[in-house]
Amino acid sequence: MKVTVAAVQMACGWDRDANLRKAEALVREAASRGANIVLLQEMFSTHFFGFMDWKPEYFALAAPVEGNPVLARMAALAKELGVVLPVNFFERANNAYYNTVMVIDADGRELGIYRKSHIPVGPPGCFEKVYTSPGDTGFKVWKTRYGTIGVGICWDQWFPEAARIMCLLGAELLFYPTAIGSDCHDHWQRAMQGHAAANLTPLVVSNRVGTESGEFGTTNFWGRSFVAGPTGEIVAEAGGEEEVITATFDLEAIREMRANWGVFRDRRPDLYGPLLSLDGVTRSV
């Protein structure tokens, strides 16, 4: 099965409805170019309050999964266009808050959530740990109309364990909504190219663009969203402005390639015990 993926990138402001209108327009553009799965960036419906500001009123931007207006709007769009949408949002779950993705299938059904596992401290002015707790869902995959996908969120992209687990669970494509603007672009891109290459699995990244300011500083999001192929090669890459990029993959051909290379066949889980500890020491129970 051939699947066309898209990454879209945009600048965001404090007007949530304006952000959503812009996101819808970009998804429509991607669909008009044949995209089957469209990835929007991290926290696309708001200014990214996780950077630059520590204000309790920002917790009011979170909403539960049930009755969530952003999810309802994106679900209607997915159904209308027949596209799969991994939708990132700020979730409130009773007294807990998470950075969460809902995977919406091409018929508008909500398939389930993933909560961001790794929460960064980052440079001065990054307050993600104030607003969100580490996710409790574990890494997950979803069978969609256009293949089985895995989704990580931003800081998750630095951890090869996350990508490997999703691929072990059957992910045929990996997606990472992102918001990053520090001086580490080349390192950032190479790390994710490595995930694609090590797992022989295409990978899609959507990053924000534009400048966003708060009380504690300013962040320049540099975009550069990209799609990596199954050997880590860059097959599509955006610049620093609002943009849509696409790429097409033959999932059956890639599945054959993956099996032929043997990177999953030749794994030695019996030797990987040190991965289960922070200091690399295997301890008996």
HEC string of 14-56 equals CCHHHHHHHHHHHHHHHHHCCCCEEECCCCCCCCCCCECCCCH
Cβ contacts of 120 within 8 Å, gap of 6 or more:
126, 128, 129, 154, 155
Give me the count of residues in the chain.
285
- Containing 237, the helix (H) or strand (E) segment is strand 234-237
Q: What is the pLDDT of residue 285?
A: 56
**Between β-strands 37-39 and 2-9, what pairing exists: parallel, antiparallel or unpaired?**
parallel
CA 269 – CA 262 distance, rounded (Å): 14
Mean pLDDT by 10 residues, the chain (285 residues): 97 94 98 98 87 80 96 98 98 97 98 96 75 96 98 97 98 96 90 98 97 78 96 97 97 97 95 94 73
Which residues are marked as active site? 42, 116, 154
Domain boundaries, the chain: 2-276
Q: What is the pLDDT of residue 5?
A: 98
Of residues 251, 239, 243, the one with CA closest to residue 201: 251
Cβ contacts of 6 within 8 Å, gap of 6 or more:
30, 33, 35, 37, 38, 39, 204, 244, 245, 246
CATH architecture of the region 2-276: 4-Layer Sandwich (3.60)
Cβ contacts of 219 within 8 Å, gap of 6 or more:
48, 51, 52, 125, 181, 211, 212, 213
pTM: 0.96
Residue with tokens 């799609």: 227
Q: What is the pLDDT of residue 276?
A: 92
Rounded (to 5) percent helix, strand, coil in the chain? 30, 30, 40
CA 120 – CA 178 distance, rounded (Å): 13
Task: Indicate the residue type of 74.
Answer: M
CA 251 – CA 111 distance, rounded (Å): 21
Q: What is the pLDDT of residue 123?
A: 62
**Between β-strands 209-214 and 147-151, what pairing exists: parallel, antiparallel or unpaired?**
unpaired
Per DSSP, 101 falls in state E
CA 189 – CA 153 distance, rounded (Å): 15
